[in-house]
């Protein structure tokens, strides 16, 4: 006789019943951290630029993206419609906070699919309290959208890699079967409709809302869930690519894993992990999965292809000129450290002990998946590929930037969650979890209290208090006029404004550099002016030689200078 499966213990049954409520509590916690004081800090340069693009009609927005920006349009388009609710700092940032909150249940589903509900809940809790994610959930930029789309695509891929029907059934066949079943049911219903008499015939003839359940025309969701997963993978991978251009490393990562796993299984003559312990572990089914996978890649490319030429144009622009410094091994380590405990001061005594905890949990996470090596490979490849990709590209043109790698933190959190789960003994799990959460909450508090953004709101208020109608305001980095005007417009003080070396976007780039040949235009702008304001910011890149203040001091006296975080405001007057 076969041995029956023992009934789960009372504690396990209680945990399963309370899992939805625990997840809800974690989502509420993550949402509260992301929305707390969301409008307390002023918009900085990049955020104000996002708002400025969001104000543009969609057609003009796309034209501006090709001309001056290096990002795809999905986030800006969403922000354009979101701003119907308002364009103050709290409202425009709320979109990012909402997207970041929605990522929390997705990582739970991913963890549950790869391991179990406990790993899913632990990963969701780590993500919810992550100071790195809290920070970018409070910025009017596309990084939480990038993370959400990548998480959804990874979840769809995890479903496909754990579903034998992903290979045994051709891609799209389930949708075709559903359509044929629906048509057959509709034809059968027409044949029998003449036999229906009385109120039932009259009721069915009035509305499809009544007809659908009475005909039982719709199949259970399980009948089409594999095709839904394929479709979800294609759609969300495309959305990831349209969230940030560096997300090209996302399909690179998934292809490295899937094709590498397939080749490994073929070379070693072992069944694909998806089909172990099933009756589908044949070479034909493995070929079937690869064929479906290649079809999905073609579908993803076709969905993304309308943006292809724009991607090439923007990539060429980045290659020709970009401001990011070349990466070092220290910057790589600091990026990983930001994923784990951003905003912790380096001199904290217990920081080394915290790192030891993280390293131990990562090792335990790998041990947890020791019987499922494909899961370990999946998480490690998704984590490492964007790092390696950005480092390789940075050999020619530096693009390595922690926020563009934000989606790579998801497999890291899943490994940490698996490491906690591997400890098994509840007091040990709670002790390590308390250490992680304590570090995260200290980091989040430091972010709320100490993290500063460029003070364009204060600078605009300072100028508005003293500006006169015949004054001139100059901006050295021309696009800093956007965040300054975002706040200055509210004071209703009309005054002449110009960029130096050129007015906003006149050269078709965001930050044109000041050169000696631009000095005659500067002198022409200030000629005859009694007072001139200089809003001076990002000069390390746009005016490294200090040409603008030097030229102004040759013609005018420096009356006052006021420093704000991220910028300086100077007032010059006649001698």
Which residues of the chain are modeled with pLDDT < 50?
Answer: 1-6, 197-217, 275-281
Q: What is the pLDDT of residue 424?
A: 83
Q: What is the pLDDT of residue 426?
A: 85
Contact of 308 with 316, CB cutoff 8 Å: no
Contact of 539 with 546, CB cutoff 8 Å: yes
Q: Which among 416, 408, 412, 361 has a CA at the least distance from the CA of 388?
A: 408
Q: What is the pLDDT of residue 189?
A: 66
d(CA 364, CA 336): 18
d(CA 460, CA 487): 6
Tell me the pLDDT tens digit for each residue of 213-235. 444 445 577 788 999 999 999 99
**φ, ψ of residue 346 in degrees (nearest 5):** -70, -20
Q: What is the pLDDT of residue 335?
A: 93
Reading the block at residue 41, the tokens are: 């800090």
Reading the block at residue 91, the tokens are: 């409202």
- For the chain, the C-alpha Rg in angstroms (whole number) is 29
- Per-residue b or e along 71-91, where b marks 16 or more CB atoms closer than 10 Å to that residue's CB: bbbbbbbbbbebbeeebebeb
Q: How many angstroms separate the Cα of 54 from the Cα of each of 58, 59, 68, 241, 307?
A: 8, 11, 15, 19, 19
Reading the block at residue 198, the tokens are: 């009385």
User: Where does residue 534 rank: exposed (0-12), middle (13-18), buried (19+ CB within 10 A)?
Assistant: buried
Q: What is the pLDDT of residue 471?
A: 94
Please list, in sequence order, all residues whose beta carbon lies within 8 angstroms of the beta carbon of residue 254, skipping any fewer than 6 positions away.
153, 157, 237, 382
Q: What is the pLDDT of residue 9?
A: 72
Residue 363 CB neighbours (<10 A): 13
Q: What is the pLDDT of residue 526?
A: 92
State pTM to two decimals: 0.90
The kind and range of the H/E element at 261 are helix 249-268
Q: What is the pLDDT of residue 346?
A: 74
């Amino acid at each position: 006789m076969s041995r029956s499966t023992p009934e789960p213990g009372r504690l396990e049954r209680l945990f399963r019943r309370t899992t939805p409520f625990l997840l809800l509590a974690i989502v509420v916690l993550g949402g509260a951290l992301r929305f707390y004081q969301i409008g307390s800090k002023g918009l900085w340069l990049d955020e104000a630029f996002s708002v400025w693009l969001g104000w543009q009609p969609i057609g003009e927005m796309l034209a501006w993206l090709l001309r001056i920006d290096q990002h795809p349009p999905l986030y800006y388009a969403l922000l354009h419609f979101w701003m119907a609710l308002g364009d103050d700092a709290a409202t425009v940032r709320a979109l990012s906070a909402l997207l970041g909150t929605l990522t929390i249940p997705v990582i739970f589903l991913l963890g549950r699919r790869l391991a179990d509900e406990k790993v899913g809940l632990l990963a969701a809790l780590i993500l919810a309290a992550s100071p790195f994610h809290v920070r970018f959930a409070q910025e009017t930029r596309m990084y939480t959208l990038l993370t959400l789309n990548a998480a959804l695509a990874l979840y769809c891929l995890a479903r496909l890699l754990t579903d034998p029907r992903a290979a045994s059934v051709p891609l799209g066949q389930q949708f075709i079967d559903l359509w044929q079943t629906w048509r057959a049911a509709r034809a059968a219903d027409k044949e029998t409709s003449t036999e229906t008499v009385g109120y039932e015939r009259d009721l069915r003839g009035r509305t499809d809302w009544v007809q659908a359940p009475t005909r039982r025309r719709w199949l259970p969701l399980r009948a089409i869930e594999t095709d839904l997963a394929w479709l979800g993978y294609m759609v969300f991978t495309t959305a990831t690519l349209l969230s940030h251009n560096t997300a090209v490393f996302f399909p690179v990562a998934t292809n490295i894993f899937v094709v590498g796993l397939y080749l490994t299984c073929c070379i070693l003559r072992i069944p694909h992990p998806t089909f172990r312990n099933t009756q589908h572990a044949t070479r034909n089914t493995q070929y079937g999965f690869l064929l479906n996978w290649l079809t999905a890649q073609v579908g993803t490319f076709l969905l993304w292809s309308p943006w292809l030429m724009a991607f090439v144009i923007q990539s060429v622009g980045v290659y020709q000129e970009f401001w990011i410094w070349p990466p070092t091994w220290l910057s790589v380590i600091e990026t990983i450290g930001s994923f784990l405990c951003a905003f912790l001061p380096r001199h904290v005594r217990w920081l080394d002990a915290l790192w030891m905890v993280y390293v131990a949990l990562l090792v335990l996470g790998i041990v947890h998946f020791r019987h499922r090596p494909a899961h370990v490979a999946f998480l490690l490849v998704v984590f490492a590929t964007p790092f390696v990709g950005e480092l390789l590209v940075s050999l020619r043109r530096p693009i390595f930037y922690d926020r563009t790698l934000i989606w790579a933190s998801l497999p890291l959190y899943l490994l940490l969650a698996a490491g906690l789960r591997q400890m098994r003994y509840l007091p040990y799990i709670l002790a390590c979890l308390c250490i992680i959460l304590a570090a995260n909450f200290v980091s989040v508090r430091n972010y709320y209290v100490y993290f500063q953004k460029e003070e364009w709101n204060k600078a605009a208020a300072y100028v508005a208090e003293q500006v006169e109608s015949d004054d001139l305001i100059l901006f050295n980095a021309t696009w800093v006029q956007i965040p300054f005007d975002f706040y200055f417009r509210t004071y209703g003080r009309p005054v002449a404004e110009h960029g130096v070396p050129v007015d906003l976007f006149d050269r078709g780039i965001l930050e044109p550099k000041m050169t000696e040949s631009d000095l005659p235009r500067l002198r022409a702008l200030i000629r005859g002016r009694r007072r001139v304001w200089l809003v001076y910011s990002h000069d390390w890149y746009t005016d490294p030689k200090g040409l603008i203040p030097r030229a102004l001091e040759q013609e005018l006296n420096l009356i006052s200078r006021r420093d704000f975080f991220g910028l300086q405001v100077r007032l010059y007057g006649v001698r």
